[in-house]
Structure 1
Amino acid sequence: MIIDANMYWMPKNLFTDRSLLEKFIRTSCEYGVYAYEQNISETGKRQIVIEKPKGYQNLNYVENQYEMETQLQDMDEAGIDKAVLKIPGCQEWMSLELCKKFNDGMAEHVRLGKGRFNALAVVPPWGTQECIYELERCVYELGMTGVQLSAHYGDQYLDNEAFKPFFKKLNELELPAYIHHTPVPVQHNFVYDYNNLRRSYGRCADQAIAVGREIFSGMFEEFPHIKFIHSMLGGAFFSFMNLMFPQKAKKNEEVDRFKVDTEKMRGYLKNNIFFEMSHAEPWGDLQLECAIKILGADHVIFGTSYPVRRQWMLTGPDFIKNLAISEKEKDLILGENAKDIYKLDK
């Protein structure tokens, strides 16, 4: 089974229901994000543009790009059996009211999808009674087997004390959490000026910071049953891993500047942190092979970010199949890992 563990979904009526559209735009603006609707002159379609800071685009939601019929056709062409639905990057500022509407819409999409879809709940992680109720509703009534979160909310990453009540519930439910990158990291003063530095590296920087904070904070000591699945390969976390968790010095040092319990940190990486690639092709074969070798094929998950670029889905499975890795490793990445973590066989 080939699973696209990162297919984006937005409600079809977002562009036709003015009340819903205005709430979506207003809520984002309340969170320090500038959002607006505009027509695309080349196609005549409408899109919602997300800017942060104002004047610098980070996300684009285009009308009619989330239709089930098109999704299924493209999945069939790519040879993808099942897709995990999540929303594209707006987890950070979604109100509970909007989350409920989106959860209902995703659940209906799954119901009509003839077994081809699974969905992850979107819930603000503040641990209020209402947020916990919505999480439980998504699990017990809507049948969702995971939750989707943002790498940070405002200027707080997920190791902040404010999120502990929510993670206590996740730990109790043993519910995996997909951690989506945000458009830019909390500190982005020197990233936003240039488009690809902002839209590509900015997301990676955000993820690498998030993963590092989660591990160094020791939060998984308190919540050992939580599994985080970070997008963008954790911001290429494989390239920093040995630097962050250096082996103990073999010779006596007058000053140990890198004190860290390497064994414990690597234990968190093994048990609690997983990495979704968020499209294979842009990484290139050498970088993906390197990531798989360092992180382990059992910790890397295939995802396409469809429909950000349709080609990434259509060519993605073959790209993985042509990597210089074993057939077992390919099976783990293309489906077995996602099936296990998100309990897709239940």
Structure 2
Amino acid sequence: MRVITVEEHFHHPEVGPRVMDLSGPPPIDLDADFSTFWRNFTPDRELAEQLAGGRLEHMDAAGINIQVLSHGAMTPGSLDHPDATGLCRQVNDWLAEQISQYPTRFRGFATVPLYDPKAAADEMRRCIDELGFVGTLTQGTFAGLFLDDPRFEPVLAAAEELNSPLYVHPGIPPASVLRAYYSGNWPASVEFLLSSPAFGWHAEAGIHILRLILSGALDRHPGLKLLSGHWGEMVAGWLDRLDEAIGWGHYLDRPVSDYYRTQVWITPSGMYSHNQLKFFLAEVGADRIIHSEDFPYVVRTNVADFLLNADIADHEREAIAHRNAEALLRISPL
């Protein structure tokens, strides 16, 4: 069985530290133990910064044929600084050169500077048309704004024009949200985790998709295709409630679930629960699920086996493993 995974990350060895320098102080008040926690939380540098070596060995062992790569933590795409445009270009050129060394094993998602939406749209076109990338990934909000804000209209229009999906990935919530919702009588490490991979940034990423639906962005761009990780960032399991509640206001031309089931694809992001797989198969269908691991933040030995051992039909297994990714991302089938 061919396996393509689509939420797989890398770190640019120079750009990440530069983004950290330009981003200013962290939004969390760090305590004495946070540096020890952060060292343990950070992924192995070799796995994050190199495509050869340990990453390829892991792919072979876990049964992954192709990873679709995107910049992970400290991405210049979310940097609120004029240097973001050049840093994104540097990331994309580096990734394209790395992929050229292993063209049968990797594809790329563009990193685009939301600081300058026109430049972001231009960089998206360059990455798709010239570098051969298969989509674009954005992380979280930008300066507290979601992609439904009118300033980002060039980004949405370019993605639709290129017939190239946007992966709406989580990001660290703004400091004001972090303080109001996730700070409390617990260590800084717990505050960080609660606000991000444990819960917070998943809720925000789900809200991000909902805002694109409620703002009319998917009506203005009916060809826009969105990817949402972690089993749809809570929204994919809430569609009936959204249809009922939003429907009370007679606000949209169609139910929320209709937009979702026609323009959004979800991925597991390494959350390999057979209960969740069966549930979301029933909610959105096999043609709207694409496999992912979330490497190197999540490292699973059972990437292929999770699907091989699932109690699902063979056509569903093949669709999730590779056929949906091939169709959506225009990756040539074998």
Same fold (TM over 0.5): yes
1:111 corresponds to: 100
Name the TM-score, length of structure 2 as normaliser. Answer: 0.84
Deviations 1:231-267 (A, max 9, x none): 222212222111111299xxxxxxx845344734333
Equivalent residue runs for 1:311-330 within 5 Å: 312=300, 314-330=301-317
1:65 corresponds to: 47
Structure 2: give runs of 5+ residues left out of the alignment.
Answer: 185-189
Using the TM superposition, give the Cα deviation of residue 191 of structure 1 relative to its aligned residue in structure 2, in angstroms: 2.4
Using the TM superposition, give the Cα deviation of residue 270 of structure 1 relative to its aligned residue in structure 2, in angstroms: 2.4
Q: Are the counterparts in 1 of residues 78 and 115 from structure 2 also a CA contact under 8 Å? A: no
2:125 corresponds to: 136
1:280 corresponds to: 271
Higher fraction of helix: 2
User: Which secondary structure state, in structure 1, belongs to the residue aligned with residue 97 of structure 2?
Assistant: helix
CA distance in 2, matches of 1:7, 1:168: 25
Deviations 1:128-179 (A, max 9, x none): 5433332222122211121111232121111111101221222222221111
Distance 1:276 1:115, change over 3 A: same
Query: Percent identity among equivalent residues?
Result: 21
1:53 to 11, 14, 28: 28
Misfit runs of 4+, over 4 Å: 56-59, 126-129
1:159 corresponds to: 148
Using the TM superposition, give the Cα deviation of residue 64 of structure 1 relative to its aligned residue in structure 2, in angstroms: 1.5
Name the TM-score, length of structure 1 as normaliser. Answer: 0.81
User: Which secondary structure state, in structure 2, belongs to the residue aligned with residue 120 of structure 1?
Assistant: strand
Distance 1:247 1:163, change over 3 A: closer
Distance 1:145 1:246, change over 3 A: same
1:10 corresponds to: 11
2:209 corresponds to: 211
CA distance in 2, matches of 1:22, 1:207: 25
CA distance in 1, matches of 2:303, 2:217: 34
Distance 1:128 1:78, change over 3 A: closer
CA distance in 2, matches of 1:22, 1:72: 25
CA distance in 2, matches of 1:247, 1:93: 36
Task: Return the structure number with greater relative CO, CA threshold 8 A, min gap 6.
Answer: 2
Distance 1:306 1:88, change over 3 A: same
CA distance in 1, matches of 2:284, 2:28: 34
How many residues were matched structurally? 309
What is the RMSD computed on CA atoms of the aligned residues? 2.5
1:270 is aligned with what amino acid?
A: R
Structure 1: give runs of 5+ residues left out of the alignment.
Answer: 15-19, 35-51, 249-255
2:85 is aligned with what amino acid?
A: L
